[in-house]
Amino acid sequence: MASTGDLVQESLPEQLEDFHIDPFADDGSEVNQEPNDGVLVRSSEFVGKRDIMDFTAVLDATGVRPENINPNAGLDAPPEDTKRKIFKSILHQVTVQRKPVYRCQLPIFCLEPRSLTEKLTDFFAYSHLLTGLNEEPSPEKRFLGILKFYLSAWHLQIPKGARVKNQLNPILGELYRAKFGTDDDRFNILCEQITHHPPSSAFAAWNAKHKVSMEAYIRPDIHFSGNLVETYLIGELIGHLYGWDHERYVCSYPKYIVHGIVFGTMQMELGGKSTIVCEKTGYSAEIEFKSTGQLSNDVTTALKANVFHNSDKKKPLYHLSGHWDSVIKIADAKTETVFLDVRSLRESPKYLPAPDEQFSNESRTVWGKVAAEIVAKDEPNALQHKTEIEEEQRAKLAERKKNKVEWHPAMFQIVDETWKYPGLRDLFGVPDRMSSPSPAPDRSEKEKGWFKRAFGQ
């Protein structure tokens, strides 16, 4: 097996050959492991048994986060004087050491005990909202279904009452694999860290039975502004409904805003405008995530949105208003109804490869020790082991530069001017135009077969 962060592209499909096998029974019984089977374990089995990183994702039988799972697990938040020292440290790194913001080091108590590659997959906690869209004959209702899914999981990105924390910065080539849902409604999730400076990630999620997929490329762009930090998400989320001649839904992101960097309580909110566009059907949405402004130390979860059709781009078909962490209502010219109540949603069960079935560059293998030490509030050892991982990556980078070796992502390629997972092209037969030379090697027939049956669909 390749060492952490150095994937050998030609051998990766063989390494993943058995991951498509899903030995689960959904009656809660023990998983029966057949010889050479890829083994997955329910996310709840990680907590207190094999792994403690899944503290924000563990579910009970009803899909509700148990009350005893603490979203603030980890080291205590800093007092005001310490917080100012953190700000001064970052300011020193930016102004004196000339570091880009994304390379600045944060104290361990500012970190969530999991990697960003895992955090990104929270978007698919309600993947079941996508499963029936290809059976919907109305293009308008299909569009509203995509909009509902898009709005459903932002409250998981910013849990109510949770302290503001950053995720562990993934190493180059870091992978995260998971399955959301049960039986035919199960979605396969694959995320890879595709660049490190600046950091950017790509992920794909798909369900072949329901002929639907989502792909995304995300690169955070961080800006300090007075008492707040704004993180713009560069990239896009693209949804495909293959049952309707490859309907394509292109979604942009809001920005994250952290208040109280210098004074006041650190709190996070969403802000800015985002869009969803389906050129094939002519429907689009303009969404505004309200924010409280530069001088405020309060936050809001309010939003409003308008849905349009190309037949009349000035007159909205629907108005949406409400809060992305509770109730959003939708209104046309005659009526107003509840469009989405995230409080009533049940998260799709999440399944992960067993620890001994994970690769050396998989998120929980890379960061497992550090995450355990963060939760145990063992700051000295967490910092030491985090630094060791980062120094190892710097040494590998120096070695590649010395030998003039160019690194390429193992799972994602540049297609149509964005990062995409070629396995979806093989699985669904989408003839995407390559906008730049493919960095990955040509696939053998064996590899193509792996992509078509990837993750059991």
Contacts of 112 (CB under 8 A, 6+ apart): 74, 119, 165, 166, 167, 168, 374
What are the start-end ranges of the E strands in 33-152? 40-42, 111-115
What are the start-end ranges of the E strands in 155-310? 166-168, 175-180, 187-196, 199-207, 212-225, 228-241, 247-251, 255-259, 267-278, 283-289, 302-309
Q: Does residue 156 carry a pLDDT above 70?
A: yes
Q: Does residue 330 carry a pLDDT above 70?
A: yes
Neighbours of 119 (CB within 10 A): 22
HSE-up (13 A, CA, CB side) for residue 355? 15
Arithmetic mean of pLDDT, 269-298: 92
Arithmetic mean of pLDDT, 194-202: 88
Instruction: Judge whether 388 and 370 are in contact, CB under 8 Å.
Output: no
Report the pLDDT value the prediction gives residue 81, as an integer from 0 to 100. Answer: 53
Q: Predicted confidence band at 431 (pLDDT cuts at 50, 70, 90)?
A: low
Q: Does residue 18 carry a pLDDT above 50?
A: no
Bigger pLDDT: 71 or 96?
Answer: 96
Q: Does residue 400 carry a pLDDT above 80?
A: yes
Q: What confidence tens digit (pLDDT) does each residue in 343-399 have?
A: 999 988 888 888 888 888 999 999 999 999 988 889 889 989 999 999 999 999 999
Arithmetic mean of pLDDT, 258-286: 91
Q: Does residue 100 carry a pLDDT above 80?
A: no
Which DSSP helix (H) or strand (E) runs through 140? helix 139-152
- Using DSSP's 3-state secondary structure scheme, residue 451 falls into helix
Report the pLDDT value the prediction gives residue 49, as an integer from 0 to 100. Answer: 24
Instruction: Judge whether 40 and 54 are in contact, CB under 8 Å.
Output: no
Contacts of 232 (CB under 8 A, 6+ apart): 220, 221, 222, 223, 255, 272
Contacts of 319 (CB under 8 A, 6+ apart): 304, 305, 306, 330, 331, 332
Neighbours of 17 (CB within 10 A): 16
DSSP code string of 173-209: T-EEEEEESSGGGPEEEEEEEEEETTEEEEEEEEETT
Q: Predicted confidence band at 401 (pLDDT cuts at 50, 70, 90)?
A: very high
Task: Spell 270-292 as b/e; 16+ CB within 10 A means b.
Answer: bbbebebbbeebebbbebbbbbb
Q: Does residue 174 carry a pLDDT above 90?
A: yes
Instruction: Judge whether 306 and 318 are in contact, CB under 8 Å.
Output: yes
Report the pLDDT value the prediction gives residue 108, as an integer from 0 to 100. Answer: 75
Arithmetic mean of pLDDT, 264-286: 93
Q: Does residue 26 carry a pLDDT above 70?
A: no
Residues forming a β-bridge with 327: 341
Distance in angstroms (rounded) separating the CA atoms of residues 237 and 219: 12
Q: Does residue 74 carry a pLDDT above 80?
A: no
> Taking the C-alpha atoms of 369, 105, 113 and 363 in order, what is their torsion angle to the nearest 10 degrees?
-60
For the chain, percent helix, then strand, then coil, each to nearest 5?
A: 30, 30, 40
Arithmetic mean of pLDDT, 444-452: 39
Instruction: Judge whether 258 and 228 are in contact, CB under 8 Å.
Output: yes
Q: Does residue 442 carry a pLDDT above 60?
A: no
User: Whole-number mean pLDDT of the chain?
Assistant: 75
Q: What confidence tens digit (pLDDT) does each residue in 222-256 have?
A: 888 878 889 999 999 999 999 998 899 999 999 99
Bigger pLDDT: 103 or 155?
Answer: 155
Name the phi and psi angles at 116, rounded to 5. -60, -35
Q: Predicted confidence band at 107 (pLDDT cuts at 50, 70, 90)?
A: confident
CA-based end-to-end distance of the chain = 25
HSE-up (13 A, CA, CB side) for residue 211? 15
- Is there a cis peptide before residue 353, judged by omega within 30 degrees of 0? no
Percent of the chain whose predicted confidence (pLDDT) is above 90: 43
Least confident among 46-55, 250-259, 409-418, 441-450: 46-55
Name the phi and psi angles at 307, rounded to 5. -110, 130
Q: Give whole-number Cα distances, 345 to 328, 340, 349, 353, in Å.
A: 13, 9, 12, 25
Q: Predicted confidence band at 102 (pLDDT cuts at 50, 70, 90)?
A: low
